[in-house]
Structure 1
């Protein structure tokens, strides 16, 4: 298994809030490509999985794919703390407080 170098890992940061402006699409696609490349090299990296899920949720607003990546991030042992943002996603996007509490309390 190949581990990503420190410089590449620094590029993967969970956004807090993002609005994609028309002139930012190149950056958006470049970020998407970086996550996909990183996950191709290290598909079980819980931090990459969780941060990509956050990117899909907050930036791309692709909730179905975001949920898939959150589930993968939670499933990796041990999960990264960022993976628990899945509980917030379940509560805010899916409006499923019970599932959010179960997700947060299950680990």
Structure 2
């Protein structure tokens, strides 16, 4: 027997029991809600025959990872950049990133400087490469005037870039420390000269 119950939005036929609703939803091979759960489990979970089987499969994944040794094989990263630059030698993004890799990871300052210079020639208004080059000049040559000139260009090119502004602030801080140490050294030399005079 079917009973129709009025609902505020309209009327819907009410079935005789709650199980009949589930039977219409899960027809054929899905006769119970539990069968969906079991099927989902079969698709996403891999069950190993034994613990050693699971360990072996994990070991295979680790062996397939080419960047497994302490964050990656540096020579392969360098080779990758060199191959990419052969294909596109004037790409300022590649030049900048390779220069940064050479400077910060490999410690090859000379080649990093060459990459930064080529990147600046390819994209003279890239504030980030200008600041990276200025930082390299400051760290390796301690040429305050030249580094300051490149930092000024970087800030003019990218006034909203927090990395450029942060690098410039660090440079100003370090350059100020050097000036203070230099002034302190002159004061110490003057004081020792005065002590010797007495």
**TM-score for both structures, normalised by structure 2:** 0.39
- What residue is the counterpart of 1:87 in the other structure? 134
Distance 1:71 1:77 in 2: 10
**What do you get for the CA RMSD once the two structures are aligned?**
2.0
Residues 68-88 of structure 1 deviation map (CA, whole Å, 9 limit, x = unaligned): 111111111355443121111
Q: Are 1:101 and 2:133 matched, yes or no?
A: no
Unpaired stretches in structure 1, ≥5 consecutive residues: 1-22
**Correspondence 1:14-53 to 2 at 5 A:** 23-24=69-70, 27-53=73-99
SS in 1 for 2:141: coil
Q: Deviations over 1:9-59 (max 9, x none)?
A: xxxxxxxxxxxxxx5596101100110011111111111101111111111
Residue 105 of structure 1: how far off its partner (Å):
2.7
- TM-score, normalised to structure 1, is 0.69
Residues 1:65 and 1:103: Cα distance change in structure 2 (over 3 Å): same
Long gaps (5+) in structure 2: 1-68, 158-198
> In terms of Rg, which structure is larger?
2
Q: Which of the two has greater strand per residue?
A: 2
